[in-house]
Amino acid sequence: MQSGILPLLAVILGSLGALGCLIAAFRALRHKRLIDDLPTSKTQGVFIGLAELKGTAESETPLMSYLAGVSCVLYDWHVEEHWSRMVTETYTDAKGHTQTRTRVESGWKKIAEGGQSVPFT
């Protein structure tokens, strides 16, 4: 009796997973069609509602980006530092013996960030 439940459970879970993938595929297809069917407008005449804009952003007083030194109308930057350290833990196991365990921890820390933009009119 026990060995008959496991294959049935695998079939049910596989079917639910396949159904979930099918629903996700239909949602992605609907999103793709929405983006493909959006009308493309020039920035000089935009209609109300969803629209795709095509053109360039220009300014009489462009900004100079902080890190790249490129002329632009908007920039955003951040600098991160990767860190790692060794952590040593001492504990007593169930038999009363003292054990030492060493592991490595690592991550990222944001050091600085900034940005600037020119107002669009």
Taking only the tens place, the pLDDT of each residue in 25-72 is 999 999 999 888 887 776 666 677 787 777 778 888 889 988 888 899
Q: Which helix (H) or strand (E) holds 54?
A: strand 52-54
Query: Checking DSSP bridges between strand 98-117 and strand 63-64, what pairing results, if any?
Result: unpaired
Instruction: Please give the Cα distance from 33 to 96 (Å, whole number).
Output: 65
How large is the C-alpha radius of gyration of the chain? 28
pTM score, two decimals? Answer: 0.45
> What is the average pLDDT score of the chain?
87
Give the model's pLDDT for residue 7.
Answer: 86
- Number of CB atoms found within 10 A of residue 66's CB: 14
